[in-house]
Amino acid sequence: MNIYVNQMGYLTNSSKFAILALPQEACADTPLSPAHVQICKEDGACLWEKDAVFFGPDASSGDFVWQLNFTELTAPGTYVIRYKDTVSYPFTVGDELYGNLNRLLSKMLYYQRCGMELTEEYAGNYARKACHTAPSVLWTEYERFLTGELSEADLQTFDIRGGWHDAGDYGRYTTAAACALGHILYAYRFFPEAFTTSLNIPESGNGIPDILNECRYELDWMLQMQTEDGSVYHKHTTQNHAAFVMPHEDTNQMLLLPPSSMAVADFVATMALASRIYRPFDEEFADRTLTAAKKSQAWLDQHPEFLFEHVKECRTGGYGDRSDIDERMWAAMELYRTTGEACYLEQAKHFFEQHPNPVQYGWADISGFAGWSLLEDELIQAPNTPSTESTDFSSAEAEFRTVYKEHLLKEADQLLEVIASCGYGVALEAKEYCWGSNLSVLNRGMLFATAYRLNPKPEYHTAVIRQMDYLLGVNATDYSYVTGVGAHAFCNPHNRITVADDIDETIPGYVSGGANGTRWVDPLAKELIPEGTPPMKSYVDRWECYSLNEITIYWNSPAIFCAAFLDSVK
């Protein structure tokens, strides 16, 4: 019998679940009745006994599952769960857990900084040299240089630097950046009390919350990606992924890939949102971002067609898409919220009517961000608290808000049914364990948190907890999917820095992509994971397995959102 717990721990007065499980083939001689467990202090003193309730077979894990609800355990401390000779990993009960986790997840962004030296004062043992500071060139010209049509002296150069390395590679991508910033800036917007402590970064102590200081580093890079005509480069990478070397050792030519309509719309939305959030701290920067947003929106208005050029000769992340409806909807909604100009609301409604399910929060579909903007005043308020924002909406906005809210709550209720059907309490069906499955888990956590702000059903709050439980150890792999968090945390991310730095201890706070039960896996994952392995168990902690264990800013960012929610709404 395996016992799976949230290896970080559980909030004092919130829901607490653990899972006992056996592979189905091992259950022939096991009574399918309640499992009698003990909850003990870490030193061995047994506090009380309780039955784990038999759930039955679980499709995603291939296990027979027993569920243990021990919400009534509220005394702070460190505990283990015992069943016969099996003992769980230790876990803590307390109130500061998600605040501490939030800081760890947020500090990861500092370790992803490009274009500057990370000094020992802020990075400790993970200090490193500045990287990728050489001039960049346009891909369209570099292509001609490779064929001999242009000489090196004829290449235009651009001094673009900064931002966060996107993932385990050293590229920077506009759409991915916008997704991560959207998660984080809205987490700050809705739960500012969760971002009051220092991250120990160079800007700490300047009077601006450190999470906004960190996001400013990425926003400054994005502003450099805007062209004179208002379009925005899609990505900023080398032609191929670097070898597994430290970032300052990657001296290949940095390239600017052609603009896409998704990148432009994401840029508009992010800059309009930033204008609202940064205005109390820096009016000049707020004006600058709003001006940039309007300039790029003008380009969008002049280019209503979907625009994306897949450059197959550039083999870094493509971040392609099949539609820009969701990005344009977000852009229009943010401009409406920031400027109050009704024309943008009409645009947002137009794109909403074309979208089949506008409550998504990933880089490929960021339609849910428009919903955050539309309902911003309600989402800022704590549940059951009268709004202090103006509610004098136009009839067009009021109708839009009602329709969108109904759609979102309906989706949340449908996902509650998915949780109820899963022995581990995760809001994924067996077929949904794909590349970056933890992003899907966390995106649904954000959806439940949003639903709770709109309608404070306890089930929504518990659903956020269950998704974070899954991330932190209540899953069939027995791993905590956050480096440095838990007694059995994954420690071999697919990340060039952590592979090349010759430091045994992995940088803490990285979120793994997680289990991947599809055929779209890397060669080593295919070799190591036997055919027929249940999807939730389709994982190994190997840095070579990029389809399982890569890290990225937009896998950390939804975890930041969920941790901030749970730190604020306990």
Beta strands 136-138 and 254-256 are parallel
Q: Alpha-carbon distance 295 to 192, whole Å?
A: 30
Cα 295 from chain centre: 28
Q: Which H or E element spans position 451?
A: helix 437-454
Place of tokens 């309906």: 410
- Which residues form the catalytic set? 169, 494, 541, 550
268: left (phi over 0), alpha (psi -120 to 50) or beta: alpha
Q: What angle do CA 463, 478, 41 make, to 5 degrees?
A: 85
Cα 76 from chain centre: 29
- Going residue by residue through the chain, which has 570 residues, state the pLDDT in tens, using 9 for 90 and above: 899 999 999 999 999 999 999 887 666 566 678 889 999 998 878 988 999 999 999 999 999 999 999 999 999 999 999 999 999 999 999 999 999 999 999 999 999 999 999 999 999 999 999 999 999 999 999 999 999 999 999 999 999 999 999 999 999 999 999 999 999 999 999 999 999 999 999 999 999 999 999 999 999 999 999 999 999 999 999 999 999 999 999 999 999 999 999 999 999 999 999 999 999 999 999 999 999 999 999 999 999 999 999 999 999 999 999 999 999 999 999 999 999 999 999 999 999 999 999 999 999 999 999 999 999 999 997 655 544 445 678 899 999 999 999 999 999 999 999 999 999 999 999 999 999 999 999 999 999 999 999 999 999 999 999 999 999 999 999 999 999 999 999 999 999 999 999 999 999 999 999 999 998 999 999 999 999 999 999 999 999 999 999 999 999 999 999 999 999 998
Calculated CA dihedral for residues 369, 371, 372, 378, nearest 10 degrees:
180
| pLDDT for position 45 | 86
Q: Which residues, in sequence order, are CB contacts of 409 under 8 Å at separation 6+?
A: 451, 454, 455
What strands lie across the sheet with 136-138, from one edge to the other?
Answer: 136-138, 254-256, 235-237, 172-173
Reported as half-sphere exposure (CB side, CA atoms, 13 A), residue 381 has a value of 15
Neighbours of 399 (CB within 10 A): 12
User: Is residue 474 a contact partner of residue 425, using CB atoms and an 8 Å limit?
Assistant: yes
User: Is residue 134 a contact partner of residue 157, using CB atoms and an 8 Å limit?
Assistant: no
User: Is residue 463 a contact partner of residue 538, using CB atoms and an 8 Å limit?
Assistant: no
Beta strands 17-23 and 63-69 are antiparallel
| pLDDT for position 388 | 43
